[in-house]
């Protein structure tokens, strides 16, 4: 199992944001997390990526403990060196691309592999070129981020995450800053990755993606998983009133 999150609890001061979240991701899964604004979706991804610390619960990556909480005790994280190894198995793509603005596309892609993984530069470049082909941007290898559309920047960000060979690629609303046409380009790339067997955990408001590409859909509300299952379970069969209301609103927006 690539990811096992158990009973994750996270609050910011008095505000309980994740109340008891458990989720498993197996190799090859495409898991979509949907839910209203403020329900804790980003916070959950950030906890998995060690960008936020949890108050309680367990996280295993590749069956290795990243953090474990004994009953009645504080969570204990793995030592620094192991954390680094475990974190390198997760890739993260954010809503706001976060490319290095003063580096061109190729430089953005080879930065982490050469510096973090000490990959020889020639190898990093040839890998970057492969990845650019995969996200359909081979012609933009020398462009700077400001010369690219939002959708192109996001595809570079996806290629950059892939350059580190993650076991699990996490996305936090990767298309919500994009207009419909650019959204389509990015979703197509993500769909191709899924078809190639990439394991993905995707927070999204694109119900079409959740319905057609994901094999498991998780609906979060108020820091809890209220409903989860196959797309059919969640979109068709569930009678949960909160979920139905959320899906009704999502439909109106479309």
The contact set with ligand ATP (CB under 6 A) reads 12, 15, 17, 35, 37-43
Q: Which of 98, 157, 159 is nearest to 124 (CA)?
A: 159
**Binding mask of the shown chain, residues 35 to 74, with x at each position contacting Mg ion by CB under 5 A:** -------x--------------------------------
Smallest distance, ligand ATP to C-beta of residue 78, A = 23
Q: How far is the CB of 140 from ligand ATP (least distance, A)?
A: 29
Nearer Cβ to Mg ion (42/154): 42
Q: What is the DSSP letter of 27?
A: T
Q: Are 49 and 88 in contact (CB under 8 A)?
A: no
Choose among ligand ATP, Mg ion, none what residue 40 binds, the Cβ cut-off being 5 to 8 Å by kind: ligand ATP
Residue 146 interacts with, from Mg ion, ligand ATP, none (CB under 5-8 Å by kind): none
CA distance 118 to 183: 34
What's the min distance (Å) between Cβ of 122 and Mg ion? 39
Find the largest Cα–Cα distance for the chain. 56
Residue 60: CB minimum distance to ligand ATP, A: 22
Burial 173-192 (b: 16+ CB within 10 A, else e): bbbebbeeebbebbbebbee
What token pair was written down for 247?
Answer: 């899906």
Size of the site for Mg ion (CB under 5 A): 1
Q: Give min distance, CB of 232 to ligand ATP, in A.
A: 24
Cβ proximity to ligand ATP: between 17 and 93 the closer is 17
Long-range pairs for 147-152 at CB < 8 Å and ≥24 separation?
148/105, 149/182, 150/97, 150/177, 150/178, 150/179, 150/182, 151/178, 151/181, 151/182, 151/183, 151/185, 151/186, 152/182, 152/185
Q: How far is the CB of 41 from Mg ion (least distance, A)?
A: 5
Which of 113, 174 has the CB closer to Mg ion? 174
Does 152 help bind Mg ion (rule: CB under 5 A)?
A: no
Residue with tokens 């595809």: 155
97 vs 163 by CB, closer to ligand ATP: 97
- Binding region for Mg ion (CB under 5 A): 42
């Amino acid at each position: 199992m690539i990811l096992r999150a158990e009973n994750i609890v996270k609050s910011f001061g008095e505000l309980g944001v994740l109340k008891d979240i458990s989720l498993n991701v197996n190799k090859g899964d495409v898991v979509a997390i949907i839910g209203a604004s403020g329900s804790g979706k980003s916070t959950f991804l950030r906890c998995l990526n060690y960008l936020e610390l949890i108050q309680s619960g367990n996280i295993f990556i590749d069956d290795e403990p990243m953090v474990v909480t004994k009953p009645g005790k504080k969570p204990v994280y793995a030592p620094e060196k192991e954390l680094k190894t475990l974190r390198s198995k997760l890739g993260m793509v954010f809503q706001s691309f976060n490319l290095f603005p003063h580096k061109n596309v190729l430089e953005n892609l080879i930065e982490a592999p050469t510096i973090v993984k000490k990959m020889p530069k020639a190898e990093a470049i040839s890998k970057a070129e492969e990845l650019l082909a995969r996200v359909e941007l081979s012609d933009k290898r020398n462009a700077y981020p400001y010369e690219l559309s939002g959708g192109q920047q996001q595809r570079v960000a996806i290629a950059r995450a892939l350059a580190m060979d993650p076991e699990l690629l996490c996305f936090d609303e990767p298309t919500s800053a994009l207009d419909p046409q650019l959204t389509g380009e990015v979703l197509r790339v993500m769909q191709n990755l899924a078809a190639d067997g990439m394991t993905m955990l995707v927070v999204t408001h694109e119900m079409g993606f959740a319905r057609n590409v994901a094999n498991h859909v998780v609906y979060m509300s108020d820091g809890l998983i209220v409903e989860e299952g196959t797309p059919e379970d969640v979109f068709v069969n569930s009678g949960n009133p909160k979920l139905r209301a959320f899906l009704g609103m999502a439909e109106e927006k479309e």
